[in-house]
Amino acid sequence: MASRLVTLPHPEIDDLFRRFVDDLARRLDDPTRDRNDVVRDTLMGVYHARLNGGPQPGYEALMHDPAVPLSTKAELACLDPRNVTLESEYYAEVDPARFYRNKPLMWLWIMFDRSPLGHNDHLGFLLRAMLAKRIFRSCGDNVRFFRNVEFSFGYNISCGSNTVFHREVFVDDRGEVVIGDNVSMSDYVNIYSHAHDILDINDVSLGRTEIGDGTRLTYHAVVLSGMKVGRDAMVGTMGVVTRDVPDHHINVGIPAKTVKVKDRG
């Protein structure tokens, strides 16, 4: 997608951000370290930095200090991914081994986005792209994630290159989701890969949902489980995809129907 090239006015700050992300990636990939500890300590630095009063006491010291209020200890405990639960880990089809490897990274993504740092798009692009390459089944290059993008498991998502996830996009990968190159997902897009039987809510079916190269999913569009949105297609605002969208078609409405075919001749 065409966009302005935005740079920071001070190159040393850009270098600082890159060193922060690179160092974090190195520690997350270190087989001798527990990813939960790395994330907990990183979030301690983000949420509880202390520069003028001496070194910040460590997590264990604060948790065992009787002077620290219980409310503060509860907040500190929630910085450790082991002490929180996410909605998706309650799903019956979760693969525990794969999910719990991803969970610390998912919690870091969520808590980073809710911190003051998460509102800095420049830093956020670097950090989220690094995490996506470790969470998703595959993730291409130059993928941009704006704030508050969420997904179910992560390990069932394949994403191409030069794709953009705008704010509040949700990708349900309880089944499988394949997203191509040069895709644009506008704010509040929802993509699903599971469905419930209309009579029995406990009867869940999993699908493979595909978003083709060059597709545009515009504001609040919804793609239901098992659907395929073709190459260079577009789903209009609030459109709900209940059937496949052919290549180059523009679909709008509920359910989404073709209103125009792009002239690519």
Q: What is the structure's pLDDT at 90? A: 96
Q: What is the structure's pLDDT at 55? A: 66
Measured between its terminal Cα atoms, the distance across the chain in Å is: 21
Put simply, whether the predicted model's pTM sits higher than 0.75 gets the answer yes
- Give the residue extent of every domain in the chain: 12-84, 97-265
Q: What is the structure's pLDDT at 4? A: 81
Q: How far apart are CA 157 and CA 187, in angstroms?
A: 19
Q: How far apart are CA 28 and CA 22, in angstroms?
A: 10
Pick the CATH number of 97-265 from 2.160.10.10, 3.30.379.10, 2.40.10.410, 3.40.605.10: 2.160.10.10
Indicate the residue type of 73: K
Per the document, the length of the chain is 265
pLDDT tens by residue, the chain, 265 residues: 567 888 899 999 999 999 999 999 999 999 999 999 999 999 999 998 765 556 677 889 999 999 999 999 999 999 999 999 999 999 999 999 999 999 999 999 999 999 999 999 999 999 999 999 999 999 999 999 999 999 999 999 999 999 999 999 999 999 999 999 999 999 999 999 999 999 999 999 999 999 999 999 999 999 999 999 999 999 999 999 999 999 999 999 999 999 999 987 5
Q: How far apart are CA 172 and CA 149, in angstroms?
A: 11
